[in-house]
Amino acid sequence: MKSLIQGIHHITLCPGGAQQDLDFFTKVLGQRLVKQTVLMDGNIPIYHFYYGNADADVGSIATCFPYSRKPGRAGSGQLSCTSYTVPAGSISFWKEHFDRHAADNSGVQERFGTKYLRARHPAGLLFEVIEERTDMRSPWTTTQVSRDVATRGFFGAVLSVRDPGEQESFFIDALGFHKVGVDGPYHRFEVPGSGPGRIVDLYVEPERTPGSWGFGAGTAHHIAFNVETDDALVKQKAVYEELGYTDASEIKDRFYFHSMYVRSPGGILVECTANVPGGFYRDETPEALGTSLLLPPWFEDQRTAIVSQLEPITVPEENRPKSGATAAPRAPVAAQTPAPDSAIPLSRYKATFGADKQAT
Ligand SMILES: [Fe+2]
């Protein structure tokens, strides 16, 4: 089949504390805080942070729900590692950098002939940097992470499965990936195309206890793949249903994109997204991305109740607007673009954020 999938759109994780997460992503991973908003499901205010490269490119965005209210259980059937590309020759910098921040790390390893290094978030989440010569995306830079070593965006993701068979069928038949090869316990898949962020590695762990599915600190929640249009989302849902994956969700309005979710056979929640015109620049100028808490319009009338229940945070200095950080400044015409009415039915949840939810 011709794949509707273009590559990874974002990866969504549940860390613990909000400030702890901000500090790790910005200071240790050197990411740009692209967006501060809130979880759009349920009635409990939870931050939703988006981190990415200098241009907030699709395929560079890690999103986090800091979920200190409840622990999760990491395990199989989950995304187990988020992979960023870094320039060739930069691994030694990253080893020293992780050590400097006392981030537990693996030392240099290799799979499919490429060097990589893993580090652990304070909440237990795993990240890796992988050397890649051809990634031309614009990195965000910080006082400690300069352009010659900074991450460019996603290389891909590692998904833990107990048995690769059914998950492999899902990636090939439902999402249009090709199997690239096997290296020990890693089974590599790639979606057709030319851009970065098109790799998924299944990591086979037959004995590993399945991880939790709900929101919980220390776990990955889902991986999202990009499709071109809302119409492609509808077609992707039909592909799932044709194959018998009839538990695909309705298509949800996430303000910056539209989303549809399905639980894959290995247990991993898979989202497909179609960008709304303007994307992350709908409600902020390129220079101001991530500098203030933004709510979808249908939550705005409850801003006071929402903010009163969120952990106070300080946006790290690295993520405040600065000149000269972006190699390719984005044209401001993309900012504050109203989205046209969608031609497809969209689901929104109009939450009620009571004042006492955080006390539970
Ligand atoms: Fe998502």
pLDDT at 325 over 70: no
> Residue 113 Cα, ligand 1 centroid: separation in angstroms?
31
> Residue 271 Cα, ligand 1 centroid: separation in angstroms?
6
Check residue 210 and give its pLDDT: 98
> Residue 259 Cα, ligand 1 centroid: separation in angstroms?
7
Nearest to 81 by CA among 186, 187, 157, 13: 157
Confidence of residue 1 (pLDDT cuts 50, 70, 90): low
> Residue 47 Cα, ligand 1 centroid: separation in angstroms?
13
> Over the stretch 203-223, which tens digit does the pLDDT of each residue have?
999 999 999 999 999 999 999
Check residue 316 and give its pLDDT: 85
> Residue 108 Cα, ligand 1 centroid: separation in angstroms?
30
More confident residue, 278 or 360: 278
For residues 265-281, average pLDDT? 95
> Over the stretch 277-306, which tens digit does the pLDDT of each residue have?
899 999 999 989 999 999 988 899 999 999
> Residue 136 Cα, ligand 1 centroid: separation in angstroms?
25
Check residue 340 and give its pLDDT: 64
> Residue 309 Cα, ligand 1 centroid: separation in angstroms?
22
> Residue 224 Cα, ligand 1 centroid: separation in angstroms?
6
Residue 183 token pair: 């290296």
> Residue 11 Cα, ligand 1 centroid: separation in angstroms?
7
**Using CA atoms, how far apart are residues 15 and 32, in angstroms rounded to an integer?**
17
pLDDT at 191 over 70: yes
> Over the stretch 8-57, which tens digit does the pLDDT of each residue have?
999 999 999 999 999 999 999 999 999 999 998 888 999 999 999 999 99
For residues 117-143, average pLDDT? 96
> Over the stretch 145-165, which tens digit does the pLDDT of each residue have?
999 999 999 999 999 999 999
> Residue 328 Cα, ligand 1 centroid: separation in angstroms?
26
Cβ 159 vs Cβ 201: under 8 Å: yes
**Cα separation values, 216 from 123, 160, 220, Å:** 10, 17, 9
Global pTM reads: 0.94
For residues 228-257, average pLDDT? 95
Instruction: Supply angle C-alpha 131, 135, 137, rounded to 5.
Output: 125
User: pLDDT exceeding 90 applies to what percent of the chain?
Assistant: 82
For residues 114-121, average pLDDT? 97
> Residue 102 Cα, ligand 1 centroid: separation in angstroms?
29
> Residue 169 Cα, ligand 1 centroid: separation in angstroms?
22
Check residue 188 and give its pLDDT: 98
Check residue 339 and give its pLDDT: 63
